[in-house]
Amino acid sequence: MGEGCRIEADVKSVLRTARRARESFEAAKRLEQETLEQITYLHATDYGGVSVQSSATSRTTEDLALRLERIHERALKRLDDLEARQRRAQEIIDRLEDDVWADVLTRYYILGDTWQQVAAGAGYSERQIYRIHGEALQWLRCH
């Protein structure tokens, strides 16, 4: 590292966290959607005007609805956390002055592409992508 560079040790860890968060984000989003659909179904259940008197059935349905609502709330909180991590990583990448550096880091850390996909999408060899990636991280550490 050159003289005069201040070390921002957390740059790579923030970016890595955002990359890992992408998979969790997708899973949490699916869970949020599934539970929302189940909650909507439970609340919209129509028994054709028939009054259901069974306290056991009512209690079970009510318990299930409450559990689903808690899962839904946890999923929403997780989504908020993951979106915040993605925003933080994007803020770091947005500091880059070189569009190629920003493209490589965005493809890898934000979009979750593999190194091969990054290389193909950016039009460089995989070896060049590693070099570009290193240059971008070095610049971020110094600026």
Question: For 78-90, how does the pLDDT look when each residue is reduced to its tens digit (9 = 90+)?
Answer: 888 888 988 999 9
Angle at 97 between CA 93 and CA 98, to 5 degrees: 90
Predicted structure pTM score? 0.67
Task: Determine the pLDDT at residue 51.
Answer: 46
For the chain, the distance separating the N- and C-terminal CA atoms, rounded to the nearest angstrom, is: 12
* Size of the chain in residues: 143
